[in-house]
Structures are given as C-alpha cells and as structure tokens.
Amino acid sequence: MRKLLLNSTAIATMAALTASVAVADVSISAATEFKYKSRSSQVTASDGTTFGTDSEIKFSFSNKTDSGLTIGYVVEMLSDGGDTSIDESSMSISGGFGKIVLGQNDGVGDNFGIAEMDLIAEESNSNALSTSISTNSDIANLSSNKTQIAYFLPAMGGFTAGASMYDSGTNTGTDSTEFGARYVMDAGGNTITLGAATGTTEATTTDTDSQNMGVKIVSGNLSMILSNGTYEAVDEDRSTTGASVSYKMANGIKLGVYSLKSEDDLDLSEEYTAAGVEAQYVVAAGLTAVITVDDYDYKAPTVLDTGSSAVKDSGTTTSFTLKATF
C-alpha cells in the first residue's frame, strides 16, 4: 500500500512538473533567390554579366507564460557560398507594455522609415564604385546586426514607435541610438502611412547622423511612395529624394517604377541619379520571378574623400531574379 501511495505521489509530481514546463511553438522558414545580372557600364571592370545568390534560414521559437507574457527567440542564418554565419539572433518579451528585443539585431529605424525602394523587389545598387554617395533614401543602418536593446510601444490606434541603443562598451566608443515612428490612417478608402526614423552614432570628433521621412499611399491595387533621406558624417552631407509607384494587375503581374536623386552638399559635383522599371510575377505559391531594368548616372566628386576611389560611371543594369520562400 505504501509503495502504491509513493508511486501515485511520483506520478502526480511528474504530471505537475510537466504541466508547468512551457511548450514552445517552433517554426522554420527560408528564403532563397538566384539572380542573373547584365550591366552595361563605362567602367570596364563593372561591364558584363554575373550570377548571384542570396539565401537565409530563419528559426523562430515562441512561448506564452501563465502571466500573459510572450517570450520569443529568433535566429536568422545566412546560407550562401559556404557562409553559414548567424545574421541575427535575439530574444523578445512582449505584453501589454509593448515589446522588448534583446540581442544581435538591426536598429529600429528600419522598422519605421519609408523609402522608395520599399515598393521595388530587387534594388539594383548599380553604383558600387563609391561609398561616398547614397543609392536610396532609406535610413543608414548605423548599428546593423549588433548586440543591442530595443523597445517598441504598444500600438495606439494607428500610431507605433520604437527606440534602440547599441553600447560599444568603451569610454571613447561609438554608441548608436535610433528612434522611429509610423502613423497609419484611412482617408476616403485609401490607406496613408507616414513614417520617420533617425539615428546617431557617436564619435570623438564628428557624429554620424541619418534620417528618413516618407509617405506611402495605397488606393486599391495602386501604391505610391514619396521619401527623403539625409546622411551627415565626416566629409559627408548627403540628401536623397525618391519616388516610386507600383500596380497589381489582374493577371498576377505587379509592375513598379522608381526614380531617385542623391547629392553631397559638401561637394556639389558629386551626384547619383537612377530610375528603373520592374515586373514581378507569381509563378506558383512561394515562387516569384522578377525582371528589373535600371538606368543610372554617377558623377564623381572633383576632390575625393580620404580612402575613396570613386569613378565617374553611367549605364544600364538588367536583372532576372527567381525567388523562393518556404
């Protein structure tokens, strides 16, 4: 009888422990793309055709506690050309107070800024010869994939906002902070989204600052974006304006067009302009084909920044991309 009672107690204890152990929801997703690009360039080294791939695997874990908190963990792993490094890895805690994200991640600016390329599936970045000019109006990712803390306010109507901070860990380090906000409203059946983001990386001499402001209007199958971005740093004072339009056709094809202009006010001779058209077609669920044609023109500065090897260039880039999601 005593053995039976002990066994019953052990079973009850194990049942209680099992009930208290959290069972996490686990999901695995992946995205991969293969690109063929043909570039007509004035620079011999850039003229020609190339193949490229871009792939990533994402592991997501989620658990809800008895107190109502949602605990999450996300790992994103690169999977191209033998590179299996961890791209991002972060833990999140969310509830009625909002959401806290801790770990290796991007700053919050990317979650709130609005740029012309948000409507374009494949950004060309034709001008890869210079790092002293911007090729889009998005906020610069000042704390990309760095261990940091971020906080997102709970949604209040159509308003959302967040802030993030990266601590470099030294007294003379390069700490980064980013802030962002969005507001979504309905206007006569149309959806209008206003977005803004700002970021700063500290330095002993000149801080690096980047801002973005944009508006997105969605009216049925038609979407439009107008945006502006700035970037200030040592020897840099850039301003970029952009616009884009996309339209979803009844046959499943999505058309997009964009244009942008970027210039450095510290050297008025440096300028980058680009315009492009794009067609996306959903071949099957999870499989999309994209054709993009970009025309660009880059005017190099008369006096190069320290370490810069910018070269004047103009041309056209045509690319075909096959994208798969799982």
CA 160 to CA 71: how far, in whole Å? Answer: 20
CA 4 to CA 47: how far, in whole Å? Answer: 82
Q: Which domains does the chain have, with CATH numbers?
A: 105-144+154-325 (2.40.160.10)
Give burial (CB, 10 Å; 0-12/13-18/19+) of 78: middle
The whole-number pLDDT of residue 116 equals: 94
CA 243 to CA 248: how far, in whole Å? Answer: 17
Contact indicator for 124, 276 with CB cutoff of 8 Å: yes
Contact indicator for 172, 114 with CB cutoff of 8 Å: no
User: Could you tell me where the DSSP H helices lie in the chain?
Assistant: 2-20, 109-112
The whole-number pLDDT of residue 178 equals: 95
Among 73, 98, 101, which residue's Cα sits nearest to residue 164? 101
Q: Strand 25-41 vs strand 313-325: parallel, antiparallel, or unpaired? A: antiparallel
The whole-number pLDDT of residue 208 equals: 92
Per-residue pLDDT of the chain (326 residues; tens, 9 = 90+): 444 443 554 444 444 444 444 567 999 999 999 999 999 988 888 889 999 888 999 999 999 999 999 999 999 988 776 656 888 899 999 999 999 999 998 899 989 999 999 999 887 665 455 667 888 999 988 878 888 999 999 999 999 999 999 988 876 678 899 999 999 999 988 999 999 999 999 888 889 999 999 999 999 999 999 999 999 988 889 999 999 999 999 888 999 999 999 998 887 778 999 999 999 999 999 999 999 999 999 988 776 555 556 778 889 999 999 999 99
- Cα–Cα distances (Å) from 97 to 66, 100, 174, 178, 196, in that order, read 16, 9, 30, 20, 22
* Number of residues in the chain: 326
CA 319 to CA 71: how far, in whole Å? Answer: 41
The whole-number pLDDT of residue 212 equals: 97
CA 101 to CA 95: how far, in whole Å? Answer: 12
Tokens (6 digits) for 218: 């969605």
pTM, two decimal places = 0.83
Is 218 in a helix, a strand, or coil? Answer: strand
Residue with token string 């040592």? 234
HEC readout, 110-148:
HHHCCCHHHHCCCCCCCCCCCCCCCCCCCCCCCCCCEEE
